[in-house]
Amino acid sequence: MNITYREAMRAALRESLKQDERVFLMGEDVGRYGGCYAVSKGLLDEFGEERIRDTPLSESAFVGAGIGAALGGMRPIVEVMTVNFSLLCLDQIVNTAATLRHMSGGQFSVPVVLRMTTGAGRQLAAQHSHSLECWYAHVPGLRVIAPATLEDMRGMLRIALDDPDPVIIFEHNALYNREGELAEDVTVSEIRRAAVRRAGSDISLIAYGGNLIKALEAADELAKSGIAAEVIDLRSLRPLDDATILASVRKTRRAVLIDEGWCSGSLAAEIGMRISEQAFYDLDAPLARVCTAEVPIPYPGHLEQAALPQVATIVNKARELLGQNV
């Protein structure tokens, strides 16, 4: 079946709403407007205002309300338009959702699902383009996942809803319009596990979300010059699947980490450190990173593209590590 990522998420939402009466979707413009990325288009007609609930511009109150509703036995899916706006409800996510279970000595779980878009590439300038998922991946008590394939976009929501703890799903905005073949019967085996999206023996390209596409393109490019790159899709940013990452790096002995966050304090930095701690002597080359330049994302297209990880940069880094002339 040919389908877009947007349609895959919508199908997942529809299925969840049908399967479980406790599920409802809440957020700014999810209803009448159809979702600012048109993900929830049509759902209001199908499920009504109670369950496709438009909220005022009150990120803190409606995210907090999602947390409270989860405590009260519902299974809310709260859409925060973009990770940029989630800073207005950072308190509720970090100080409440992530802490209640611990501070109550295990008495209260918070089964809330938060969906937000992330990422740049649409010339929306700094306040709509940042990738801050590593801030959330820093926080114990949260689970952070990032679908990068159609199957994951379709399947991760169900798994997030089944999770008794707060889950944040980061959807890269550049993915929504992409089309592809979706297997009829989708089963996402395990969001906790990273996936090897392409096997290879010379170097590991480790990516997640929208940048998986770039990593796969880079691998195609490298193959032309005889380099077999292995591509790892993290899928879960918290917890990280060390085992899959290390198994790959021990095999290929080289790694490039691709992350749309800024280099400083990035998820790439964390993964690089884990590899150093656990597989230093297995490495044949220094670790390398392709991250976003240390600048708020600029508006002009050429500068925006220059700031972001690109296929060519990934290819060059990989060649460098393999001692090929760039």
Partner 1 sequence: MNDKPSQISREQGLQWLQDMLRIRRMEEKCAELYGEEKIRGFLHLYIGEEAVAAGVIPELAAEDAVVATYREHGHALVRGISMNAILAEMFGKQEGCSRGRGGSMHLFDAKTHFYGGNAIVSGGLPLAIGLALADKMQNRPGVTACFFGEGAVAEGEFHESLNLAALWQLPVLFVCENNLYAMGTALARSESVTDIHRKAESYGIDSTAVDGMDVMSVNTAARNALEKIRTQQVPVFLEMRTYRFRAHSMFDPELYREKAEVEQWKQLCPIATLSARLKAQQVIEDGDVAALEQATGEEIQAAVAFAEAGQWEPVEDLLKYVYTDSAQNTGQSGST
Interacting residues with partner 1 (CB under 8 A): 22, 24, 50, 55-56, 58, 60-74, 76, 91-92, 95-96, 100-109, 140-141, 143, 163-165, 192, 238-242, 270, 273-274, 277-278
Which CB, 230 or 241, lies closer to partner 1? 241
- CA pair distance 204, 254, nearest whole angstrom: 6
Using DSSP, how many helices (H) and how many strands (E) does the chain show? 12, 14
| Shortest spacing between CB 17 and partner 1, in angstroms | 13
CA distances to 24, 272, 319 from 224, in Å: 48, 27, 12
Which CB, 246 or 303, lies closer to partner 1? 246
- CA pair distance 254, 203, nearest whole angstrom: 5
- CA pair distance 137, 240, nearest whole angstrom: 9
Give the residue numbers marked as catalytic.
59, 128
Which CB, 36 or 90, lies closer to partner 1? 90
| Shortest spacing between CB 254 and partner 1, in angstroms | 19
Which CB, 103 or 306, lies closer to partner 1? 103
| Shortest spacing between CB 181 and partner 1, in angstroms | 32
CA distances to 185, 248, 278 from 283, in Å: 39, 11, 10
Which CB, 73 or 226, lies closer to partner 1? 73
- CA pair distance 13, 31, nearest whole angstrom: 13
Give the CB-side neighbour count of residue 248, counting CA atoms within 13 A: 29
Pairing of the two strands 167-172 and 143-145: parallel
| Shortest spacing between CB 41 and partner 1, in angstroms | 23
| Shortest spacing between CB 239 and partner 1, in angstroms | 2
- CA pair distance 70, 79, nearest whole angstrom: 14
